[in-house]
A and B are shown apart, each in its own frame.
Chain A
Amino acid sequence: MATIRIAAPDTASAGEVIELKALIQHPMETGYRSGPDGKRIERDIIEKFEVTYDGETVFEADLQPGIAANPIFTFYTRATASGPIVFKWTDQDGESWSETHDLTVE
């Protein structure tokens, strides 16, 4: 189970642009490194990060090995209605992790 950290406001006023910050613990192994035995370490990366809010995808990222280990993203969205913001990561083998943050819009 990967450790996930989300930083987002709990409440916002309607129309306000809020900052969302999401981090997941993951090696983002590039496939270009060699281990102590001299063998190439297999590529193991998260390929997709998707954020849905108020029934719509509000942010999407396609990741390459050029993204550092433990990928962190800071981005913005406009607060529209109270509801869950769902952060979802999917790796190259289709395994996924997600975390939900509840936002109350006043």
Chain B
Amino acid sequence: MKTPSRHTALARRSFLQLGAAGIAAAALPLQAAADAADADAAIREIFGDKPLNEGRVSVKLPPIAENGNSVAITVAAESLMSPDDYVRRIAIFSPRNPIAEVALFKLGPRAGKAEISTRIRMAGTQRIRAVAEMSDGTLWHGSASTVVTLAACLIG
């Protein structure tokens, strides 16, 4: 037995990645995958045409996810959460999943803290976006990306 040299190990890894990418590329055309425009449309459908401000919303995702079927995500919005200054709604969007909208959360001043954690499916490497609607009607936007090595929808 001989341990593979660093070079062959790397070659094997890139080969595996190519294989996974090939499977993903072959399977994707079967499904209507959303794209960036769909995510924009989904945001407009839920929140209307108001301008999206950058900031106040943070999205936490792991930098790399081995399995796109279950990726931990935390979305937080900066707000006092007082009776007259609170977060009304928070939504998560994916520019690459078959459906751009992932979830819509309705909060209120009683939440105390505008932070939600859940697990989402990711059909491939992408930048997940989150939008928060404040009690004054303004919209705030944040995003984070994750490299997905095995996409959801293709396997169990």
Contact check: which of A58, A67, A68 meets B110 at CB < 8 Å? A58
Question: A68 to chain B: which residues have CB within 8 Å?
Answer: 69-71, 118-121, 152
B residues 89-142 with Cβ under 8 Å of A?
92, 94, 97-99, 101-108, 110-113, 115-121
When C-beta atoms are compared, the residue in chain B nearest to A78 turns out to be B112
Contact B119 A71 (CB under 8 A): yes
- Mask: chain A, 46-66; 1 = CB below 8 Å from B; 0 = not: 000000010011111111111
A72 to B71, CA, bound (A): 11
Hey, which bits of chain A sit against chain B, CB under 8 A?
17-18, 30, 32-33, 53, 56-69, 71-78, 80
Contact A30 B111 (CB under 8 A): no
Question: B104 to chain A: which residues have CB within 8 Å?
Answer: 61-62
Known A-B contacts A33-B153, A61-B106; A66 and B120 likewise in contact (beta carbons under 8 Å)? yes
Contact B118 A73 (CB under 8 A): yes
We find that the number of chain B residues with CB closer than 8 angstroms to chain A is 32
Question: A66 to chain B: which residues have CB within 8 Å?
Answer: 92, 94, 97, 99, 101-103, 120-121
A27 to B76, CA, bound (A): 26
6 A-B pairs with C-beta separation under 8 A:
A30-B153, A32-B98, A59-B105, A64-B101, A67-B103, A68-B118
Name the distance in Å between B5's Cβ and chain A's nearest Cβ. Answer: 39
Name the distance in Å between A91's Cβ and chain B's nearest Cβ. Answer: 15
Contact A64 B116 (CB under 8 A): no
